[in-house]
Structure formats: C-alpha cells, structure tokens
Structure 1
Amino acid sequence: MTTSTRQRVNLAAPGLPRPLTIYIHGEYDQHVSRQLRDTAVWEPYESSLVLQCLRPGQVFVDVGANIGYFSLLAAAVVGAEGHVYAFEPDPENFALLQASIVDNGLTCIESVQAGLAAQPGQARLFLSENNLGDHQIFDAGGSRQSVAIELLNGSDYLAPRIGNIDLLKIDTQGSEHGVVLGLLPLLQAQSVPARIIVELTPRSLRQCGSSGRELIESLATLEAPFWIIDHIEHRLVGSSAQELAQWCDNVDAVPEDEGFMNILVGPGLAG
C-alpha cells in the first residue's frame, strides 16, 4: 500500500457550512475511499448527525479517525474557536488525514498518530489489504501484515487539554470497549453529558477480548439515553442498555454472525 496514488475529492455532504476537500486512497481501498470517490459522501445519515450535534466552539473527539472524514466535517462546524482531536494509528491513513487538514487550513484539528485504550503502551495493528478502515489491534488470522503502534489512555491525554467532550465518535474495529474504559473518567466528570457515536460489533469485540454486553454495560454507567442509528430510515430509534446487551448476546450465540449497528449514547436531537 502506498499513498503515492492518493486522490483529492470535493466533499458533498449535505449541510456542510463551508467547502471541504479530502485526500483518499487509490483503487486498492474498496470501502471508504471508493465510496468517497464515487459519491463524495460517506455514511450520509451519520454525517448529518455529526453536523447537527455540533455547534461553533465545541469539542469533537474522533477515535479511529481513518482518513479524517468525520474530523473534517466536525472542524467545519466547530470552527477556529472549537477543537477536534483525531486519533488514527495507521501511518497511511494518518498521512492522508494530515494532508487534508493542511489542504483545508483547519487549525482547530489536532491529529494524533495513536490509538486509544484502557492502558497506554505499544501494540500491533493488523492491516486489511482492501479495506483501509478495517485495521484491527488483534490478530484474527488471515495472515495480515502488521505495524507497531502507540496506544494512549484517552482521559490521561485529553483531560489536561479540554474540559468537556461535546461529541465523541468511536469506530475502532473491535477495540471500542478499551477506548471507552480509558475515556470513562473524563466522561463521568463532565458537567454536561457528551453525545457518543459508537460502532457496536459483537463479533469483533469478542475477538478483541471483550464483548458487546461489556461495552454496553460500561456505557450505561454514564446514565444517558441509548439510541439506535437507523441508516435506512434516517432516524434515531430509542433503545435501552438492557435491550442492546441482549441483542449482543443473541449475536454472540451465533459465532460467525457479523451483525453490527451504530448507536448514539446521550441526548437525542430535537425534532
């Protein structure tokens, strides 16, 4: 894989407050980069949620930022008085993220070439050849190549820099529970609850040594509402920790079930 075949796309997410460009991978990335090349938008409903959830001057934290799509959207909203923290451990993705930050002149984004976890340290990132958003910090077999990466504790890193997180996105291909455990002290200390968008993939969580139920139970300690992000109907569907934990148990009962959903934890949206 090489960033020498990078391409530049003008983003077309509805509701963008300013023009944005993004650097994407070449043809070898068959998922995020391909979708952006074809349509200039990734996950339209989730894009609209990020834009609706943020206001100028607020703080967005993007864990598993990939090439920076959601970080760019957030930065366009929060502006120079706000802050975006984009964590991405993969060198190829991180290089594109940085190129897009410079290209758009987004000084409010702090990009960090690291992953987040419950404990800081070193790890290996196991790389997907054709889905550069599917790198994992566990070896699920398949003879993936790997690279050494740094892991940080999110609360330790962010607490000296910010007061509250307004919107947090976590998409780390199975390591979401460790990310949440590291961030819980910061999130629990907030005077105003954060909104958290997180991918819930029981099989990947299990392969990483955790479970969907454990992730939900940790998020439930925040005592915030749970919502399913319905990408088909473009709406938030109210749920509960109990319902989501049971769904995770049901998926885990079928070892090869790759079912997943994205959820929002925190206040819903008016209207």
Structure 2
Amino acid sequence: MTSGTFRIVQFIRSVLRPLGVERATFIRPLYHRFKKSLKHSTAEVDGFFLHLDRNDSLDLSLTPDYEVFERNLVKRWVREGDTVLDIGAHIGLFTLVMAREVGPKGRVFSFEPCPESHHLLAENIRTNGLANVTLVEAAVGEESGWTTLFLNPLNSGDHRTHPTSQSGESVRVETIRLDDFEPLKGVPIDFIKMDVQGSEWEALKGMSGLLETNPGVRIFFEFWPSGLREAGADPLEVLLWLRRRDFRLFHLHEEDESIRRIQDGDEEGWIERLLTEFGAHSQRHTNLLAVGTSGRDPF
C-alpha cells in the first residue's frame, strides 16, 4: 500500500473513531466497501506472512500499526515455555505472536468457530511454520455442545452467537466448556487472550474451574458493554465475578498506551465513567487485563 493511501485511511479512521460510527449501521456498508477496494489478500505483519479475508474489516493490509499496542503488551506478558489460550483467534494474528513468544517448549491452544476464519487461521499457521499451536474449530462457552453462529457479512471478526441487526447467514458450530476440555486437564495455563464479541461472560463461566486451579493466570480480554448486553450479560457482573475470584483488574488505554488499575470497590463507578466517556456511541469498546492472585502485575 502506498504511503498516500495509508494516510487517507488513517485520516478517515481518525474522523470516524472518536464519533463511534465505525460500527454505526448507517455508515458501516460504505466504510467497509471503501476499505475492501483498497485491501490486499495477504499482508506481512510483525514478521509474519498472513492470508487475509478481503470481506473482513481487519485493517492488517491497510494499517501497519494495527493493534500494535496490544501486540507489544502480549509480547511483554507471554514468556518462553508458557501455555496460552487464544479464544476467538480469528485468522491468527495473536496466535502467531504468542506462538513465537512461548517458543518450542510452550503451547498455544487457538479456538475459532467460524469455518472460513478457521481455514485462514490454519493456513497462516502452516505458512509461518509453527508447530506449537493446537487448533480447535469451536466456540468457547458455558456448556459443551452446539450453537448457531450468526455471520456478519461485512466483518468476519464480528460473528456472534446471538443475532444482531448486522447478521446475515448462520452456521452451526461446536461449543466447548473449557472445564470439560480434555487436552487442558492438568495443564498449567499462564495466559488467556479472549475476544468473542460479547460472549466473554459465557466463556468465563465455562472456565471457572480452570481459573481456580491456575491462580497465576492472566486474562487479556475485550470489554464491550454494549456487546455484552446484546448477548444478555450485565457488564458490571462480569467484572464483579472476576473480583470475587480475587482477580486484579487493569484498564489498557490505547490512546496514551498506559495501564491503569481499576481500584477494588470502584468497578461500578469505573463502568459509569467508561460509559460517560464513550457517550451515546455505545459501540465503542476497550481492553482489560485480569490478573490472578499469584499472577505478575503488568507493569
């Protein structure tokens, strides 16, 4: 991509993102159609060669610094020999980063339910020659079984297990309760990255036993109040559930690349301030880190 095109994309994003309209129904089709016209089918990011979905809103082929703050944090937190989980792996950018960090003595379990995204995920693992990744074509939820995955035709990173106004076709996918997942039985888990479009609550409830037996685990997850509510969850209850299990909570500020602890007892006030900051544009989201009782602080 030329530097001129990159500057155009960055300018458009700088205008739309503060307004919270990148996800707005009325502008999404136009915005994604514009981006699709510029995208490539492959990209080189962070030293990895990636096959992309051109129907996707993922900006890997347009913005070289895509989620660079988050990627750099993961590189700091994940260590050689760790066992990590990538829940909602999509096409595998974070799976690749974490697989490189854990090295040959570590292991990445990568969960992705969408068949098309899982195909690209597997292709990206093969292309980059990584032998320390276990791929699981399934969603992570409260119970093991099967569910309907509602597909977003504009954004393959926004498929959900509940219908929305953007939903198109749907597919049946397997769901896994991590507490019942045999390959993880007795395996120490060091780090979990989770981005499942509002279904984080179901995933957490299905791994309560795993979290209890891994007091040092750290969970890096997207916190999207609107998405959680659309999935039938209470955003405050998600945080209080973690606090009742003695997790320390940290807010990751992409704007100034800072990490701030959410003080004990201030979860409700923090959410109110967060929603006030986001204003009426409830589609905005942020990232949090939950650190177990014996886990290392992120600083």
TM-score (norm: length of structure 1):
0.86
The residue that corresponds to 2:51 in the other structure is 23
Deviations 1:11-33 (A, max 9, x none): 13xxxxxx32221112x22x21x
Contact 1:159–1:186 under 8 Å retained in 2: no
1:268 correspondence with 2:297: yes
Mapped partners of 1:108, 1:98: distance in 2: 12
User: CA separation of 1:255/1:183 partners in 2, compared to 1, >3 Å: closer, same or farther?
Assistant: farther
Residue 65 of structure 1: which of 89, 99, 105 is its match?
89
Contact 1:212–1:245 under 8 Å retained in 2: no
Farther off after superposition, 90-99 or 200-209: 200-209
Contact 1:213–1:249 under 8 Å retained in 2: no
Deviations 1:190-230 (A, max 9, x none): 2x411111111111111111110121122113312211001
Determine helix, strand or coil for the equivalent of 2:233.
Answer: coil
1:7 correspondence with 2:41: yes
Where do 4+ consecutive residues of structure 1 move more than 6 Å? Answer: none
Determine helix, strand or coil for the equivalent of 2:110.
Answer: strand
Mapped partners of 2:92, 2:110: distance in 1: 7
User: CA separation of 1:22/1:257 partners in 2, compared to 1, >3 Å: closer, same or farther?
Assistant: same
Deviation at 1:6, TM superposition (A): 7.8
The residue that corresponds to 2:137 in the other structure is 113
Unaligned runs of 5+ in 1: 13-18
The residue that corresponds to 1:16 in the other structure is none
Determine helix, strand or coil for the equivalent of 1:107.
Answer: coil
Mapped partners of 2:254, 2:87: distance in 1: 21
Deviations 1:133-157 (A, max 9, x none): 1111001234521111111001211
Determine helix, strand or coil for the equivalent of 1:51.
Answer: helix
Deviation at 1:189, TM superposition (A): 1.2
Contact 1:121–1:152 under 8 Å retained in 2: yes
Mapped partners of 1:238, 1:160: distance in 2: 30
Mapped partners of 2:143, 2:216: distance in 1: 24
Q: What does 1:203-222 align with in structure 2 at a 5 Å threshold?
A: 203-222=226-245
Q: What does 1:27-66 align with in structure 2 at a 5 Å threshold?
A: 28-29=55-56, 31-32=57-58, 35-66=59-90
The residue that corresponds to 1:170 in the other structure is 194
1:144 correspondence with 2:178: no
The one-letter amino acid paired with 1:195 is: R
Contact 2:150–2:169 under 8 Å retained in 1: yes
User: CA separation of 1:51/1:142 partners in 2, compared to 1, >3 Å: closer, same or farther?
Assistant: closer
Determine helix, strand or coil for the equivalent of 2:70.
Answer: helix
Q: What does 1:69-88 align with in structure 2 at a 5 Å threshold?
A: 69-88=93-112
Number of residues of Structure 1 aligned to a counterpart in Structure 2: 254
Deviation at 1:71, TM superposition (A): 0.4
Identity between Structure 1 and Structure 2 (%): 28
Compute the RMSD of aligned alpha carbons: 2.2
Unaligned runs of 5+ in 2: 1-38
Mapped partners of 2:264, 2:159: distance in 1: 28
Deviation at 1:160, TM superposition (A): 4.0
TM-score (norm: length of structure 2):
0.79
Residue 283 of structure 2: which of 222, 238, 258 is its match?
258
Deviations 1:83-110 (A, max 9, x none): 0011000011101000011111111111
Contact 2:80–2:105 under 8 Å retained in 1: yes
The residue that corresponds to 1:15 in the other structure is none
Mapped partners of 2:243, 2:186: distance in 1: 23
The one-letter amino acid paired with 1:21 is: F
